[in-house]
Structure 1
Protein backbone atom coordinates (compact mmCIF):
# COMPACT_ATOMS: atom_id res chain seq x y z
CA UNK A 1 0.00 0.00 0.00
CA UNK A 2 1.34 3.44 -0.95
CA UNK A 3 2.56 5.69 1.86
CA UNK A 4 0.11 8.45 0.95
CA UNK A 5 -2.84 6.07 1.41
CA UNK A 6 -1.54 4.89 4.80
CA UNK A 7 -1.02 8.51 5.86
CA UNK A 8 -4.53 9.47 4.72
CA UNK A 9 -6.17 6.59 6.61
CA UNK A 10 -4.24 7.64 9.70
CA UNK A 11 -5.35 11.25 9.20
CA UNK A 12 -9.02 10.27 8.86
CA UNK A 13 -8.88 8.23 12.06
CA UNK A 14 -7.25 10.96 14.14
CA UNK A 15 -9.52 13.59 12.62
CA UNK A 16 -12.64 11.69 13.67
CA UNK A 17 -11.34 11.57 17.24
CA UNK A 18 -10.51 15.28 17.07
CA UNK A 19 -13.96 16.27 15.87
CA UNK A 20 -15.57 14.13 18.58
CA UNK A 21 -13.55 15.98 21.23
CA UNK A 22 -14.22 19.31 19.56
CA UNK A 23 -17.95 18.68 19.55
CA UNK A 24 -17.80 17.91 23.28
CA UNK A 25 -15.95 21.18 23.98
CA UNK A 26 -18.08 23.33 21.65
CA UNK A 27 -21.39 22.09 23.05
CA UNK A 28 -20.39 22.76 26.62
CA UNK A 29 -17.44 24.71 27.91
CA UNK A 30 -16.16 26.64 24.88
CA UNK A 31 -17.51 28.62 21.96
CA UNK A 32 -16.93 27.47 18.37
CA UNK A 33 -13.92 29.80 18.04
CA UNK A 34 -12.69 28.85 21.51
CA UNK A 35 -12.68 25.14 20.72
CA UNK A 36 -10.94 25.90 17.42
CA UNK A 37 -8.26 27.86 19.29
CA UNK A 38 -7.83 24.98 21.74
CA UNK A 39 -7.23 22.63 18.85
CA UNK A 40 -4.30 24.70 17.55
CA UNK A 41 -2.97 25.87 20.91
CA UNK A 42 -2.53 22.35 22.23
CA UNK A 43 -1.34 20.98 18.88
CA UNK A 44 1.43 23.58 18.46
CA UNK A 45 3.76 22.29 21.23
CA UNK A 46 3.26 18.74 19.99
CA UNK A 47 4.16 19.87 16.48
CA UNK A 48 7.33 21.55 17.71
CA UNK A 49 8.37 18.39 19.56
CA UNK A 50 7.69 16.23 16.51
CA UNK A 51 9.86 18.48 14.32
CA UNK A 52 12.69 18.67 16.87
CA UNK A 53 12.60 14.92 17.43
CA UNK A 54 12.60 14.11 13.74
CA UNK A 55 15.49 16.49 13.02
CA UNK A 56 17.51 14.92 15.85
CA UNK A 57 16.64 11.35 14.81
CA UNK A 58 17.56 11.85 11.15
CA UNK A 59 20.42 14.28 11.88
CA UNK A 60 18.95 16.62 9.27
CA UNK A 61 19.42 20.38 9.07
CA UNK A 62 16.43 22.68 9.37
CA UNK A 63 15.19 23.16 5.78
CA UNK A 64 15.00 26.67 4.41
CA UNK A 65 11.59 28.24 3.87
CA UNK A 66 11.05 30.66 1.02
CA UNK A 67 8.31 33.33 0.76
CA UNK A 68 6.15 30.92 -1.25
CA UNK A 69 5.92 28.60 1.75
CA UNK A 70 4.70 31.37 4.04
CA UNK A 71 2.22 32.64 1.46
CA UNK A 72 0.64 29.22 0.95
CA UNK A 73 0.85 28.47 4.69
CA UNK A 74 -1.13 31.61 5.55
CA UNK A 75 -3.62 30.85 2.76
CA UNK A 76 -4.15 27.30 3.96
CA UNK A 77 -4.00 28.16 7.65
CA UNK A 78 -6.71 30.80 7.41
CA UNK A 79 -8.84 28.40 5.40
CA UNK A 80 -8.50 25.73 8.07
CA UNK A 81 -9.42 28.13 10.88
CA UNK A 82 -12.60 29.26 9.10
CA UNK A 83 -13.45 25.70 8.09
CA UNK A 84 -13.09 24.40 11.64
CA UNK A 85 -15.27 27.15 13.11
CA UNK A 86 -17.99 26.47 10.52
CA UNK A 87 -18.00 22.71 11.01
CA UNK A 88 -18.24 23.10 14.79
CA UNK A 89 -21.24 25.41 14.28
CA UNK A 90 -22.71 22.80 11.93
CA UNK A 91 -22.53 20.22 14.73
CA UNK A 92 -25.05 22.35 16.65
CA UNK A 93 -27.50 22.28 13.73
CA UNK A 94 -27.41 18.60 12.76
CA UNK A 95 -26.01 15.38 14.24
CA UNK A 96 -22.31 14.52 14.27
CA UNK A 97 -22.33 12.17 11.26
CA UNK A 98 -24.24 14.58 8.99
CA UNK A 99 -22.09 17.53 10.06
CA UNK A 100 -18.99 15.56 9.09
CA UNK A 101 -20.55 14.37 5.82
CA UNK A 102 -21.47 17.86 4.64
CA UNK A 103 -17.99 18.99 5.61
CA UNK A 104 -16.57 16.21 3.44
CA UNK A 105 -17.83 17.95 0.30
CA UNK A 106 -14.30 19.34 0.49
CA UNK A 107 -13.26 16.57 -1.90
CA UNK A 108 -15.61 17.89 -4.57
CA UNK A 109 -14.51 21.47 -4.04
CA UNK A 110 -10.81 20.66 -3.74
CA UNK A 111 -10.75 19.14 -7.22
CA UNK A 112 -12.01 22.40 -8.70
CA UNK A 113 -9.79 24.62 -6.54
CA UNK A 114 -6.72 22.49 -7.24
CA UNK A 115 -7.38 22.80 -10.96
CA UNK A 116 -7.77 26.58 -10.76
CA UNK A 117 -4.81 27.34 -8.46
CA UNK A 118 -2.31 24.52 -9.05
CA UNK A 119 -3.34 23.18 -12.45
CA UNK A 120 -3.85 19.68 -10.99
CA UNK A 121 -6.25 17.72 -13.18
CA UNK A 122 -8.76 15.01 -12.33
CA UNK A 123 -9.46 12.06 -14.63
CA UNK A 124 -12.92 11.44 -16.21
CA UNK A 125 -13.52 8.65 -13.69
CA UNK A 126 -12.62 11.11 -10.95
CA UNK A 127 -15.22 13.58 -12.18
CA UNK A 128 -17.79 10.76 -12.20
CA UNK A 129 -17.01 10.22 -8.53
CA UNK A 130 -17.50 13.93 -7.92
CA UNK A 131 -20.92 13.79 -9.57
CA UNK A 132 -21.94 10.85 -7.39
CA UNK A 133 -20.78 12.81 -4.37
CA UNK A 134 -22.99 15.75 -5.36
CA UNK A 135 -25.98 13.40 -5.35
CA UNK A 136 -25.06 12.38 -1.82
CA UNK A 137 -24.95 16.02 -0.72
CA UNK A 138 -28.45 16.58 -2.14
CA UNK A 139 -29.73 13.60 -0.15
CA UNK A 140 -28.25 15.03 3.02
CA UNK A 141 -29.52 18.57 2.43
CA UNK A 142 -33.01 18.08 3.89
CA UNK A 143 -33.27 19.52 7.39
CA UNK A 144 -35.70 17.64 9.69
CA UNK A 145 -39.11 19.30 9.84
CA UNK A 146 -38.47 21.50 6.82
CA UNK A 147 -41.18 21.16 4.16
CA UNK A 148 -40.19 23.98 1.82
CA UNK A 149 -38.65 23.73 -1.63
CA UNK A 150 -35.35 22.01 -2.41
CA UNK A 151 -33.71 25.38 -3.08
CA UNK A 152 -34.78 26.63 0.35
CA UNK A 153 -33.51 23.43 1.94
CA UNK A 154 -30.14 23.90 0.25
CA UNK A 155 -29.99 27.42 1.69
CA UNK A 156 -30.73 26.23 5.24
CA UNK A 157 -28.23 27.22 7.94
CA UNK A 158 -27.09 23.63 8.53
CA UNK A 159 -26.33 22.99 4.86
CA UNK A 160 -24.64 26.35 4.30
CA UNK A 161 -22.40 25.83 7.33
CA UNK A 162 -21.47 22.33 6.21
CA UNK A 163 -20.78 23.30 2.62
CA UNK A 164 -18.92 26.43 3.73
CA UNK A 165 -16.66 24.35 5.93
CA UNK A 166 -16.04 22.03 2.98
CA UNK A 167 -14.99 24.99 0.83
CA UNK A 168 -12.54 26.32 3.38
CA UNK A 169 -11.13 22.85 4.02
CA UNK A 170 -10.55 22.71 0.26
CA UNK A 171 -8.67 26.01 0.55
CA UNK A 172 -6.64 24.48 3.38
CA UNK A 173 -5.85 21.30 1.45
CA UNK A 174 -4.66 23.12 -1.67
CA UNK A 175 -2.70 25.64 0.38
CA UNK A 176 -1.04 22.97 2.49
CA UNK A 177 -0.07 20.86 -0.51
CA UNK A 178 1.56 23.88 -2.15
CA UNK A 179 3.25 24.87 1.13
CA UNK A 180 4.73 21.45 1.87
CA UNK A 181 5.95 21.06 -1.70
CA UNK A 182 7.84 24.35 -1.35
CA UNK A 183 9.90 23.09 1.64
CA UNK A 184 13.49 22.57 0.51
CA UNK A 185 13.69 18.83 1.25
CA UNK A 186 13.08 15.53 -0.54
CA UNK A 187 11.90 13.88 2.68
CA UNK A 188 8.07 13.90 2.81
CA UNK A 189 8.02 13.36 6.57
CA UNK A 190 10.33 16.32 7.18
CA UNK A 191 8.22 18.48 4.89
CA UNK A 192 5.12 17.45 6.83
CA UNK A 193 6.73 18.04 10.24
CA UNK A 194 7.95 21.48 9.15
CA UNK A 195 4.50 22.43 7.94
CA UNK A 196 2.87 21.12 11.12
CA UNK A 197 5.16 23.07 13.47
CA UNK A 198 5.07 26.37 11.58
CA UNK A 199 1.41 26.45 10.63
CA UNK A 200 -0.16 25.29 13.90
CA UNK A 201 1.98 27.76 15.85
CA UNK A 202 0.92 30.60 13.58
CA UNK A 203 -2.73 29.58 13.87
CA UNK A 204 -2.54 29.42 17.67
CA UNK A 205 -0.96 32.88 17.92
CA UNK A 206 -3.39 34.40 15.43
CA UNK A 207 -6.44 32.98 17.18
CA UNK A 208 -5.13 34.02 20.59
CA UNK A 209 -5.01 37.64 19.41
CA UNK A 210 -8.51 37.33 17.93
CA UNK A 211 -10.00 35.86 21.11
CA UNK A 212 -8.26 38.44 23.27
CA UNK A 213 -9.95 41.12 21.16
CA UNK A 214 -13.36 39.59 20.45
CA UNK A 215 -13.99 37.01 23.18
CA UNK A 216 -12.25 38.03 26.42
CA UNK A 217 -12.03 35.15 28.87
CA UNK A 218 -12.23 32.41 26.25
CA UNK A 219 -8.49 31.69 26.44
CA UNK A 220 -8.86 31.19 30.20
CA UNK A 221 -11.77 28.81 29.58
CA UNK A 222 -9.66 26.91 27.04
CA UNK A 223 -7.00 26.44 29.72
CA UNK A 224 -9.62 25.33 32.25
CA UNK A 225 -10.77 22.69 29.75
CA UNK A 226 -7.22 21.40 29.29
CA UNK A 227 -7.98 17.84 30.40
CA UNK A 228 -10.06 17.39 27.26
CA UNK A 229 -8.33 20.01 25.13
CA UNK A 230 -4.94 18.34 25.58
CA UNK A 231 -6.22 15.19 23.88
CA UNK A 232 -7.83 17.39 21.25
CA UNK A 233 -4.45 18.97 20.53
CA UNK A 234 -2.59 15.66 20.41
CA UNK A 235 -5.11 14.04 18.06
CA UNK A 236 -5.07 17.22 15.95
CA UNK A 237 -1.26 17.19 15.70
CA UNK A 238 -1.21 13.52 14.72
CA UNK A 239 -3.93 14.04 12.14
CA UNK A 240 -2.33 17.15 10.67
CA UNK A 241 1.05 15.45 10.38
CA UNK A 242 -0.65 12.59 8.55
CA UNK A 243 -2.52 14.96 6.20
CA UNK A 244 0.65 16.92 5.42
CA UNK A 245 2.55 13.72 4.66
CA UNK A 246 -0.17 12.65 2.23
CA UNK A 247 -0.30 16.11 0.63
CA UNK A 248 3.42 15.98 -0.16
CA UNK A 249 2.92 12.73 -2.08
CA UNK A 250 -0.44 13.05 -3.86
CA UNK A 251 -2.88 15.60 -5.29
CA UNK A 252 -5.06 17.13 -2.57
CA UNK A 253 -8.33 16.04 -4.25
CA UNK A 254 -7.33 12.37 -4.21
CA UNK A 255 -6.05 12.62 -0.64
CA UNK A 256 -9.38 14.03 0.51
CA UNK A 257 -11.15 11.34 -1.54
CA UNK A 258 -9.50 8.51 0.37
CA UNK A 259 -10.04 10.49 3.56
CA UNK A 260 -13.78 10.04 3.06
CA UNK A 261 -13.47 6.81 5.07
CA UNK A 262 -14.00 9.27 7.90
CA UNK A 263 -17.71 9.07 6.98
CA UNK A 264 -17.92 5.51 8.22
CA UNK A 265 -16.04 6.39 11.39
CA UNK A 266 -18.22 9.45 12.04
CA UNK A 267 -21.41 7.44 11.57
CA UNK A 268 -20.18 4.94 14.15
CA UNK A 269 -19.25 7.79 16.53
CA UNK A 270 -22.63 9.46 16.04
CA UNK A 271 -24.57 6.33 16.95
CA UNK A 272 -22.30 4.63 19.48
CA UNK A 273 -20.73 7.61 21.31
CA UNK A 274 -23.16 10.53 21.02
CA UNK A 275 -26.28 8.29 20.95
CA UNK A 276 -27.69 10.32 18.06
CA UNK A 277 -30.38 9.03 15.74
CA UNK A 278 -29.46 8.71 12.07
CA UNK A 279 -32.37 8.62 9.61
CA UNK A 280 -32.67 6.28 6.63
CA UNK A 281 -32.25 9.25 4.28
CA UNK A 282 -29.03 10.25 6.01
CA UNK A 283 -27.70 6.69 5.83
CA UNK A 284 -28.52 6.62 2.10
CA UNK A 285 -26.78 9.96 1.59
CA UNK A 286 -23.69 8.73 3.41
CA UNK A 287 -23.76 5.51 1.33
CA UNK A 288 -23.90 7.49 -1.93
CA UNK A 289 -21.01 9.69 -0.83
CA UNK A 290 -19.08 6.57 0.11
CA UNK A 291 -19.69 5.23 -3.40
CA UNK A 292 -18.21 8.45 -4.76
CA UNK A 293 -15.14 7.84 -2.59
CA UNK A 294 -14.66 4.37 -4.04
CA UNK A 295 -14.94 5.76 -7.55
CA UNK A 296 -12.39 8.47 -6.80
CA UNK A 297 -9.98 5.96 -5.25
CA UNK A 298 -10.18 3.86 -8.42
CA UNK A 299 -9.48 6.99 -10.43
CA UNK A 300 -6.37 7.93 -8.44
Structure 2
Protein backbone atom coordinates (compact mmCIF):
# COMPACT_ATOMS: atom_id res chain seq x y z
CA UNK A 1 0.00 0.00 0.00
CA UNK A 2 1.45 3.43 -0.95
CA UNK A 3 2.43 5.52 2.04
CA UNK A 4 0.05 8.34 1.06
CA UNK A 5 -2.93 5.98 1.05
CA UNK A 6 -2.05 4.55 4.48
CA UNK A 7 -1.49 8.08 5.85
CA UNK A 8 -4.82 9.29 4.43
CA UNK A 9 -6.75 6.37 5.94
CA UNK A 10 -5.16 7.06 9.33
CA UNK A 11 -5.98 10.76 8.93
CA UNK A 12 -9.66 9.96 8.44
CA UNK A 13 -9.68 7.74 11.52
CA UNK A 14 -7.93 10.30 13.75
CA UNK A 15 -10.20 13.09 12.50
CA UNK A 16 -13.35 11.11 13.28
CA UNK A 17 -12.01 10.23 16.72
CA UNK A 18 -11.06 13.85 17.40
CA UNK A 19 -14.49 15.10 16.36
CA UNK A 20 -16.14 12.65 18.75
CA UNK A 21 -13.95 13.79 21.65
CA UNK A 22 -14.39 17.45 20.81
CA UNK A 23 -18.10 17.15 21.56
CA UNK A 24 -17.11 17.08 25.25
CA UNK A 25 -15.79 20.63 24.94
CA UNK A 26 -18.98 22.08 23.48
CA UNK A 27 -20.44 23.21 26.78
CA UNK A 28 -17.08 24.23 28.27
CA UNK A 29 -15.46 26.42 25.60
CA UNK A 30 -16.54 28.95 22.98
CA UNK A 31 -16.17 28.11 19.29
CA UNK A 32 -12.92 30.11 19.02
CA UNK A 33 -11.47 28.70 22.23
CA UNK A 34 -12.29 25.14 21.14
CA UNK A 35 -10.42 25.80 17.89
CA UNK A 36 -7.40 27.23 19.70
CA UNK A 37 -6.93 24.11 21.86
CA UNK A 38 -6.49 22.04 18.68
CA UNK A 39 -3.46 24.09 17.74
CA UNK A 40 -2.13 25.02 21.18
CA UNK A 41 -2.04 21.45 22.47
CA UNK A 42 -1.05 20.16 19.04
CA UNK A 43 2.30 22.00 19.02
CA UNK A 44 4.05 19.85 21.68
CA UNK A 45 2.66 16.70 20.04
CA UNK A 46 4.10 17.81 16.70
CA UNK A 47 7.48 18.54 18.30
CA UNK A 48 7.40 15.08 19.89
CA UNK A 49 6.63 13.45 16.53
CA UNK A 50 9.56 15.25 14.87
CA UNK A 51 11.86 14.26 17.74
CA UNK A 52 10.80 10.59 17.61
CA UNK A 53 11.20 10.52 13.82
CA UNK A 54 14.70 12.00 13.98
CA UNK A 55 15.63 9.57 16.76
CA UNK A 56 14.39 6.35 15.20
CA UNK A 57 14.46 7.09 11.45
CA UNK A 58 17.08 9.79 11.20
CA UNK A 59 17.40 12.80 8.99
CA UNK A 60 18.10 16.51 9.19
CA UNK A 61 15.77 19.45 9.66
CA UNK A 62 15.16 21.63 6.62
CA UNK A 63 16.10 25.26 6.16
CA UNK A 64 13.06 27.51 6.49
CA UNK A 65 12.64 30.30 3.93
CA UNK A 66 10.30 33.28 3.82
CA UNK A 67 8.41 31.69 0.92
CA UNK A 68 7.86 28.60 3.05
CA UNK A 69 6.48 30.71 5.90
CA UNK A 70 4.09 32.47 3.48
CA UNK A 71 2.76 29.11 2.24
CA UNK A 72 2.49 27.81 5.82
CA UNK A 73 0.65 30.93 6.98
CA UNK A 74 -1.78 30.68 4.04
CA UNK A 75 -2.39 27.02 4.82
CA UNK A 76 -3.05 27.72 8.49
CA UNK A 77 -5.29 30.69 7.73
CA UNK A 78 -7.21 28.67 5.13
CA UNK A 79 -8.04 26.02 7.70
CA UNK A 80 -9.21 28.64 10.19
CA UNK A 81 -11.41 30.39 7.61
CA UNK A 82 -12.79 27.08 6.34
CA UNK A 83 -13.71 26.00 9.85
CA UNK A 84 -15.42 29.34 10.55
CA UNK A 85 -17.40 29.18 7.29
CA UNK A 86 -18.49 25.65 8.14
CA UNK A 87 -19.67 26.78 11.58
CA UNK A 88 -21.53 29.69 9.93
CA UNK A 89 -23.37 27.17 7.73
CA UNK A 90 -24.56 25.37 10.87
CA UNK A 91 -25.99 28.66 12.15
CA UNK A 92 -28.47 28.66 9.26
CA UNK A 93 -30.03 25.39 10.43
CA UNK A 94 -28.13 23.55 7.77
CA UNK A 95 -25.74 21.22 9.56
CA UNK A 96 -26.20 18.38 7.06
CA UNK A 97 -26.31 20.65 3.99
CA UNK A 98 -23.30 22.72 5.07
CA UNK A 99 -21.25 19.63 5.87
CA UNK A 100 -22.22 17.96 2.60
CA UNK A 101 -21.20 20.87 0.40
CA UNK A 102 -17.95 21.39 2.30
CA UNK A 103 -17.04 17.88 1.15
CA UNK A 104 -16.80 19.17 -2.44
CA UNK A 105 -13.29 20.20 -1.39
CA UNK A 106 -11.74 17.33 -3.36
CA UNK A 107 -13.40 18.43 -6.62
CA UNK A 108 -12.56 22.09 -6.03
CA UNK A 109 -8.94 21.21 -5.25
CA UNK A 110 -8.74 19.17 -8.47
CA UNK A 111 -9.92 22.09 -10.62
CA UNK A 112 -7.74 24.65 -8.81
CA UNK A 113 -4.69 22.39 -9.26
CA UNK A 114 -5.58 21.85 -12.94
CA UNK A 115 -6.02 25.56 -13.71
CA UNK A 116 -3.20 27.09 -11.66
CA UNK A 117 -0.70 24.25 -11.18
CA UNK A 118 -1.20 22.29 -14.39
CA UNK A 119 -1.80 19.03 -12.49
CA UNK A 120 -3.74 16.53 -14.56
CA UNK A 121 -5.16 13.15 -13.63
CA UNK A 122 -6.20 10.06 -15.54
CA UNK A 123 -9.89 9.95 -16.54
CA UNK A 124 -10.43 7.10 -14.07
CA UNK A 125 -9.08 9.25 -11.23
CA UNK A 126 -11.41 12.11 -12.19
CA UNK A 127 -14.31 9.67 -12.19
CA UNK A 128 -13.26 8.37 -8.78
CA UNK A 129 -13.12 11.89 -7.33
CA UNK A 130 -16.63 12.60 -8.62
CA UNK A 131 -18.03 9.28 -7.38
CA UNK A 132 -16.52 9.57 -3.89
CA UNK A 133 -17.81 13.13 -3.45
CA UNK A 134 -21.23 12.07 -4.79
CA UNK A 135 -21.36 9.27 -2.22
CA UNK A 136 -20.58 11.73 0.58
CA UNK A 137 -23.24 14.16 -0.66
CA UNK A 138 -25.76 11.31 -0.82
CA UNK A 139 -24.96 10.21 2.73
CA UNK A 140 -25.37 13.77 4.01
CA UNK A 141 -28.53 14.65 2.10
CA UNK A 142 -30.41 11.31 1.94
CA UNK A 143 -33.82 11.68 3.55
CA UNK A 144 -33.62 15.47 3.34
CA UNK A 145 -34.12 15.89 -0.41
CA UNK A 146 -36.21 13.66 -2.63
CA UNK A 147 -35.82 15.20 -6.11
CA UNK A 148 -33.36 17.12 -8.23
CA UNK A 149 -35.50 20.22 -7.71
CA UNK A 150 -34.98 19.93 -3.97
CA UNK A 151 -31.25 19.37 -4.50
CA UNK A 152 -31.06 22.60 -6.53
CA UNK A 153 -33.12 24.40 -3.87
CA UNK A 154 -30.79 23.10 -1.16
CA UNK A 155 -27.81 24.40 -3.15
CA UNK A 156 -29.24 27.90 -3.00
CA UNK A 157 -29.57 27.87 0.79
CA UNK A 158 -27.13 30.05 2.79
CA UNK A 159 -25.87 26.90 4.50
CA UNK A 160 -24.88 25.43 1.12
CA UNK A 161 -23.15 28.66 0.05
CA UNK A 162 -21.16 28.74 3.28
CA UNK A 163 -20.43 25.02 2.90
CA UNK A 164 -19.08 25.55 -0.61
CA UNK A 165 -17.00 28.45 0.71
CA UNK A 166 -15.64 26.19 3.44
CA UNK A 167 -14.73 23.55 0.85
CA UNK A 168 -12.95 26.21 -1.23
CA UNK A 169 -10.99 27.43 1.81
CA UNK A 170 -10.04 23.87 2.79
CA UNK A 171 -8.93 23.17 -0.80
CA UNK A 172 -6.69 26.25 -0.85
CA UNK A 173 -5.40 25.29 2.62
CA UNK A 174 -4.41 21.82 1.43
CA UNK A 175 -2.74 23.17 -1.72
CA UNK A 176 -0.78 25.73 0.34
CA UNK A 177 0.34 22.99 2.74
CA UNK A 178 1.53 20.86 -0.17
CA UNK A 179 3.39 23.85 -1.61
CA UNK A 180 4.98 24.58 1.78
CA UNK A 181 6.09 20.98 2.19
CA UNK A 182 7.58 20.87 -1.30
CA UNK A 183 9.44 24.18 -0.80
CA UNK A 184 11.57 22.73 2.02
CA UNK A 185 15.03 21.47 1.07
CA UNK A 186 15.03 18.25 3.10
CA UNK A 187 15.16 14.96 1.15
CA UNK A 188 12.57 13.09 3.30
CA UNK A 189 8.92 13.98 2.45
CA UNK A 190 7.63 12.53 5.73
CA UNK A 191 10.01 14.61 7.83
CA UNK A 192 9.13 17.72 5.81
CA UNK A 193 5.43 17.04 6.51
CA UNK A 194 6.06 16.74 10.25
CA UNK A 195 8.12 19.93 10.28
CA UNK A 196 5.30 21.73 8.50
CA UNK A 197 2.80 20.44 11.06
CA UNK A 198 4.75 22.10 13.89
CA UNK A 199 5.20 25.40 12.04
CA UNK A 200 1.54 25.65 10.96
CA UNK A 201 0.21 24.75 14.41
CA UNK A 202 2.42 27.47 15.92
CA UNK A 203 1.20 30.02 13.37
CA UNK A 204 -2.43 28.99 13.94
CA UNK A 205 -1.99 29.31 17.70
CA UNK A 206 -0.68 32.85 17.18
CA UNK A 207 -3.41 33.78 14.68
CA UNK A 208 -6.49 32.39 16.38
CA UNK A 209 -4.99 32.82 19.86
CA UNK A 210 -4.39 36.50 19.09
CA UNK A 211 -8.00 36.84 17.96
CA UNK A 212 -9.13 35.17 21.19
CA UNK A 213 -7.06 37.61 23.28
CA UNK A 214 -8.58 40.55 21.38
CA UNK A 215 -12.21 39.42 21.52
CA UNK A 216 -12.69 36.82 24.28
CA UNK A 217 -9.97 37.40 26.84
CA UNK A 218 -12.05 35.86 29.63
CA UNK A 219 -12.03 32.54 27.75
CA UNK A 220 -8.25 32.19 28.06
CA UNK A 221 -8.22 30.60 31.57
CA UNK A 222 -10.62 27.94 30.28
CA UNK A 223 -8.02 26.81 27.75
CA UNK A 224 -5.98 25.50 30.66
CA UNK A 225 -8.72 24.51 33.13
CA UNK A 226 -10.01 21.99 30.56
CA UNK A 227 -6.52 20.67 29.83
CA UNK A 228 -7.43 16.98 30.22
CA UNK A 229 -10.05 17.02 27.45
CA UNK A 230 -8.27 19.71 25.46
CA UNK A 231 -4.99 17.80 25.43
CA UNK A 232 -6.74 14.72 24.02
CA UNK A 233 -8.37 16.79 21.28
CA UNK A 234 -5.05 18.52 20.49
CA UNK A 235 -3.22 15.19 20.35
CA UNK A 236 -5.70 13.60 17.94
CA UNK A 237 -5.81 16.79 15.87
CA UNK A 238 -2.00 16.79 15.56
CA UNK A 239 -1.91 13.09 14.67
CA UNK A 240 -4.61 13.58 12.05
CA UNK A 241 -2.87 16.63 10.57
CA UNK A 242 0.46 14.78 10.53
CA UNK A 243 -1.18 12.07 8.43
CA UNK A 244 -2.91 14.57 6.10
CA UNK A 245 0.32 16.51 5.59
CA UNK A 246 2.19 13.27 4.87
CA UNK A 247 -0.40 12.39 2.26
CA UNK A 248 -0.02 15.83 0.65
CA UNK A 249 3.76 15.41 0.61
CA UNK A 250 3.50 12.26 -1.52
CA UNK A 251 0.43 12.73 -3.74
CA UNK A 252 -1.75 15.46 -5.32
CA UNK A 253 -4.20 17.09 -2.92
CA UNK A 254 -7.31 16.12 -4.89
CA UNK A 255 -6.44 12.42 -4.78
CA UNK A 256 -5.62 12.54 -1.06
CA UNK A 257 -8.88 14.32 -0.25
CA UNK A 258 -10.87 11.93 -2.45
CA UNK A 259 -9.47 8.92 -0.59
CA UNK A 260 -10.03 10.89 2.62
CA UNK A 261 -13.79 10.67 2.04
CA UNK A 262 -13.52 7.34 3.89
CA UNK A 263 -13.73 9.51 7.00
CA UNK A 264 -17.50 9.31 6.69
CA UNK A 265 -17.25 5.51 6.73
CA UNK A 266 -15.45 5.67 10.07
CA UNK A 267 -18.26 7.92 11.31
CA UNK A 268 -20.85 5.35 10.27
CA UNK A 269 -18.89 2.52 11.90
CA UNK A 270 -18.54 4.54 15.10
CA UNK A 271 -22.29 5.18 15.04
CA UNK A 272 -23.10 1.51 14.46
CA UNK A 273 -20.71 -0.29 16.81
CA UNK A 274 -20.15 2.24 19.61
CA UNK A 275 -23.45 4.14 19.70
CA UNK A 276 -25.44 1.04 18.65
CA UNK A 277 -27.40 2.97 16.03
CA UNK A 278 -28.96 1.05 13.14
CA UNK A 279 -27.63 1.74 9.67
CA UNK A 280 -30.24 2.78 7.14
CA UNK A 281 -30.36 1.56 3.56
CA UNK A 282 -29.19 5.00 2.39
CA UNK A 283 -26.15 4.69 4.69
CA UNK A 284 -25.13 1.41 3.05
CA UNK A 285 -25.65 2.76 -0.49
CA UNK A 286 -23.72 5.93 0.26
CA UNK A 287 -20.89 4.03 1.96
CA UNK A 288 -20.52 1.64 -0.97
CA UNK A 289 -20.49 4.61 -3.37
CA UNK A 290 -17.68 6.28 -1.42
CA UNK A 291 -15.69 3.03 -1.41
CA UNK A 292 -16.24 2.63 -5.17
CA UNK A 293 -14.97 6.17 -5.75
CA UNK A 294 -11.86 5.55 -3.66
CA UNK A 295 -11.14 2.34 -5.58
CA UNK A 296 -11.46 4.22 -8.89
CA UNK A 297 -9.05 6.93 -7.64
CA UNK A 298 -6.49 4.29 -6.68
CA UNK A 299 -6.87 2.45 -10.00
CA UNK A 300 -6.55 5.73 -11.92
CA UNK A 301 -3.45 6.79 -9.98
Structure 1 range deviating more: 207-216 or 112-121: 112-121
Report 1:222-241 matches (<5 A).
222-241=223-242
CA distance in 2, matches of 1:47, 1:232: 13
Whether the 8 Å contact between 2:258 and 2:294 is mirrored in structure 1 is yes
* More displaced stretch, 147-156 vs 110-119: 147-156
Cα 1:276–1:220 change in 2 (3 A) is farther
Deviates more, 1:111-120 or 1:180-189: 111-120
Structure-2 change in CA distance of 1:69 and 1:237 (3 Å): same
What's 2:269 paired with?
268
Q: Is the 8 A contact 1:176 1:244 kept in 2?
A: yes
Give the CA deviation at 1:180. 0.5
Q: 1:158 to 1:222 in 2, by over 3 A?
A: farther
Say if 1:22 and 1:161 are closer, same or farther in 2 by CA, change over 3 A: farther
Question: What is the TM-score when the length of structure 2 is the normalising length?
Answer: 0.85
Contact 1:43/1:234 (<8 A) preserved:
yes
Does 2:33 correspond to 1:30? no
SS at match of 2:217: coil
Partner of 1:177: 178
Alignment check: 8 A CA contact 1:100 1:263 kept: no
Q: Structure 1, unaligned stretches of length 5 or more?
A: none
Q: What's the offset of the Cα at 1:156? A: 3.0
Rounded to whole Å, the distance in 1 between the matches of 2:236 and 2:76 is 18
Given the alignment of the two structures, is residue 21 of structure 1 paired with residue 60 of structure 2, yes or no? Answer: no
Structure-to-structure mapping, 1:235-254, within 5 angstroms: 235-254=236-255
1:206 aligns with 2:207: yes
Report the more deviating stretch, 128-137 or 215-224: 128-137
Q: TM-score, normalized by length of structure 1? A: 0.85
What RMSD in Å do the two structures reach over aligned CA positions?
3.0
Counterpart secondary structure, 2:41: helix
Q: Does the CA contact (< 8 Å) of 2:129 and 2:254 recur in 1?
A: no
Question: Counterparts of 2:63 and 2:255 in 1: how far apart (Å)?
Answer: 28
Q: What is the CA–CA distance in structure 2 between the aligned matches of 1:267 and 1:57, rounded to whole Å?
A: 36
TM-superposed deviation, 1:164: 3.1
Q: Distance in 1 between matches of 2:95 and 2:278?
A: 8
Matching of residues 127-166 of structure 1 within 5 Å: 127-133=126-132, 135-136=134-135, 139=138, 140-141=140-141, 144=144, 149-166=150-167
Task: Figure out how many residues of one structure are paired with residues of the other and give that number.
Answer: 298
Stretches of structure 2 lacking an aligned partner (at least 5 in a row): none
Q: Which residue of 1 aligns with 2:124?
A: 125
Deviation string, structure 1 residues 145-187 (Cα, Å, up to 9, x no partner): 9998433312334434443332222112111111111111111
The aligned runs of 1:67-146 (5 Å cut-off) are 67-87=66-86, 93=93, 102-133=101-132, 135-136=134-135, 139=138, 140-141=140-141, 144=144
2:169 maps to 168
Aligned partners of 2:103 and 2:133 also within 8 Å: no
Q: Is the 8 A contact 1:23 1:91 kept in 2?
A: no
Taking structure 1 as reference, are residues 155 and 291 closer, same or farther at Cα in structure 2, changes over 3 Å only? farther
Which residue is 1:12 aligned to?
A: 12
Supply the distance in 1 between the matched residues of 2:209 and 2:255 (Cα, whole angstroms): 33
How big is each residue's C-alpha offset from its partner over 1:179-214, in whole Å with a ceiling of 9 and x where there is no partner? 111111111221012101111111011111011112
